[in-house]
Amino acid sequence: MSLARAVAWNSLVQVGGRLFGLVASMTFNAILIRHLGIATFGQFTAASVYVGLFMILGESGLYLVSVRKAMQEPEQRGRILGTALGLRLLWTIFPLGLAFVVAQWIPEQRFPTYQPVVKLTIGILAFNEYIRLLSQFLTAIFRMHLRMDLAVIGEAGSRLVALAGILWVAQSGGGLIAVGLTFTLANAVNLAYAWLVARRLETFRPELHRPLVGALLRESIVVAGVLILSLLRVQVGTLLLSLLRPAEDVGIYGVASKVHEVVITFPGLFIALVYPLLSRLASENADRLRQTFQRTFDVMFLAGVASALEILVLAPQIASILGESRATAPMRVLALSLPAIFLGMSFSHLLLAESRQGLILRFYTLLAMASLASNALLVPHFSYMAVATTSVVMETCVVLCLSTYVAWRRHWRLDLRVLWALPLATATGLVVHAIGSRIVPAAHPSLLASILYVVIAGGGTILLFAGAAWRLGLVDAGFIRSLRGGPPGAPAAENST
């Protein structure tokens, strides 16, 4: 199979897997919100965000550094992967353990969201993140071999386990502790599967090869700084919301952010597949690097605009399905940041492939400080709407600054005709809204009516947008044709990227 077909096929498989995951996630979140109540769900959101801040320390950049190094030095791949796994097994314990210890010292009188049960849930979720980080590392093996169909099987299985567990928790009247244990069990199932299957693709074992330990840690420290500051920029608003506002406000924003988090996993899947290729081309072929990045730019922008369009149109019904109509407004505001997030991932991974972590680190430091200051000033007065609006502003700044630097540094002139997707999406949204406003049920539609509207209007919106984009020549025909290649092993007619 050609490289283009392999990347396209793996992207398609992952999208299918994530669509299944999206349905499963919306289902068990809807069950959780109704079972726990919006305030308790807010406590669960607060615990998840808190652990997430320490989780990025556990990741420490090893994933990106080890993937790039393994692709650029194939003769050392087994040793690189084994050493990276050994480092992750040891290093990740400390920051996630620290998360649990520090949480015990948060005064609940001053910050009422952090009750004793929330602090215990933080410990369970920290262990859950340890398991998930190990699974994420093994997923890198599937990506390097372009066999994400195998990874999707494991993820789908873990989602089914989580869904079954949440149903049991709701029926048995379980609380935060039971919910945390359910997600931990689901991720443990995925880890066991990924370990067994990944070992068939690559022969490696956990080890600590001293020369590689030093090399990986030196590079990972800078990448870790980039990831930490990126997460702070994104999550600091939710953390401040949990400290400065009632748990109910955290729950409302948590409903909106859950949808947002699920959507932004899609560009993460695509760019994770392209990143090893960008890493190789950055040191081998500048012309092919530009061509590959142009295609990445087009795909990511179109996907970002389409995702934003879907949420803007369907937000009231999605919020109704999840059980909290007040989440509609922040959900729509967050949707406005999606095109910038999709493109920001593209530009940041291009710079990481070129080993320009230091530049991104300095830039993200400024943005993290700006995000912290803005949220600290606005959250006490405007609650979750301040967090959502600040997120849009910060993500727009990211893509504008990174794209300006890449254009200046590389002297690239990207083809920008894909920007016509913005007015096209606006027109599509107005048409769908005009039609939908005539057929949508009254002010409080039933759950079934909301689900049917999401399926029908969502499908119609994306088909209308995609068809118009195709007619205007905004869709890369080569990328679409490459989807016909089928799974790995199918014969290929062309060998271009």
Q: How far is CA 383 from CA 161, 318, 379, 425, in A?
A: 35, 21, 4, 29
DSSP code, position 111 = S
pLDDT tops 70 at residue 163: yes
pLDDT tops 80 at residue 11: no
Q: Rounded to the nearest 5°, which phi and psi values hold at 415?
A: -75, 120
The token pair at 37 is: 């109540």
The token pair at 403 is: 């794209």
DSSP-derived secondary structure for 243-255: HHS-HHHHHHHHH
**Dist. CA 159–CA 170, nearest whole Å:** 16
Q: Tell which wins on pLDDT, 346 or 76.
A: 346
Q: Write out pLDDT tens, residues 87-100.
A: 888 878 888 888 89
Least confident stretch, 1-10, 209-218, 363-372: 1-10
Judge contact between 169 and 33, C-beta under 8 A: no
* Residue whose structure tokens are 């939710």: 238
* Percent of the chain scoring above 70 in pLDDT: 86
Judge contact between 271 and 300, C-beta under 8 A: yes
pLDDT given for residue 222 in this prediction: 66
The token pair at 88 is: 């992750």
pLDDT given for residue 59 in this prediction: 63
pLDDT given for residue 64 in this prediction: 67
Q: 246-255 in b/e burial notation, b at 16+ Cβ within 10 A? A: ebbbbbbbbb
Judge contact between 135 and 108, C-beta under 8 A: no
Judge contact between 396 and 342, C-beta under 8 A: no
**Dist. CA 412–CA 307, nearest whole Å:** 27
pLDDT given for residue 111 in this prediction: 85
Q: Write out pLDDT tens, residues 376-410.
A: 999 999 999 999 999 999 999 989 988 888 888 77
* Percent of the chain scoring above 90 in pLDDT: 25
The token pair at 111 is: 């910050």
pLDDT tops 70 at residue 17: yes
**Dist. CA 429–CA 435, nearest whole Å:** 10
Helix, strand or coil, per DSSP, at residue 212: helix
Q: Tell which wins on pLDDT, 79 or 436.
A: 79
The token pair at 227 is: 């990831």
pLDDT given for residue 447 in this prediction: 72
Q: Write out pLDDT tens, residues 280-317.
A: 787 777 788 888 888 889 889 999 999 999 999 999 88
pLDDT tops 50 at residue 120: yes
Burial class (CB in 10 A: 0-12, 13-18, 19+), 151: buried
pLDDT tops 50 at residue 418: yes
Q: Estimate to the nearest angstrom the gap between the alpha carbon of 478 and the chain centroid.
A: 26
pLDDT given for residue 342 in this prediction: 93
pLDDT given for residue 1 in this prediction: 52
Q: Tell which wins on pLDDT, 62 or 415.
A: 415
pLDDT given for residue 416 in this prediction: 86
pLDDT given for residue 491 in this prediction: 39
Region of residue 173 (left: phi > 0; alpha: psi -120 to 50; beta: else): left
Q: How many helices (H) and strands (E) are present in the chain, helices listed first?
A: 18, 0
Q: Tell which wins on pLDDT, 171 or 78.
A: 171
Q: Write out pLDDT tens, residues 193-233.
A: 988 888 888 777 777 877 777 777 776 776 666 666 666 67
Model confidence band, residue 69 (pLDDT cutoffs 50, 70, 90): confident
Mean pLDDT of all residues belonging to the chain: 82
Instruction: Work out the average pLDDT over 91-115.
Output: 87
Of 313, 341, 309, 338, whose CA–CA distance to 328 is shortest?
A: 313
Q: Rounded to the nearest 5°, which phi and psi values hold at 113?
A: -65, -30
**What pTM was computed for the model?**
0.74
pLDDT tops 80 at residue 485: no
pLDDT tops 60 at residue 134: yes
Amino acid identity at 125: L
Non-local CB neighbours of 214 within 8 Å, separated by 6+ positions? none
Least confident stretch, 82-86, 341-345, 416-420: 82-86
Domain positions in the chain are 3-485
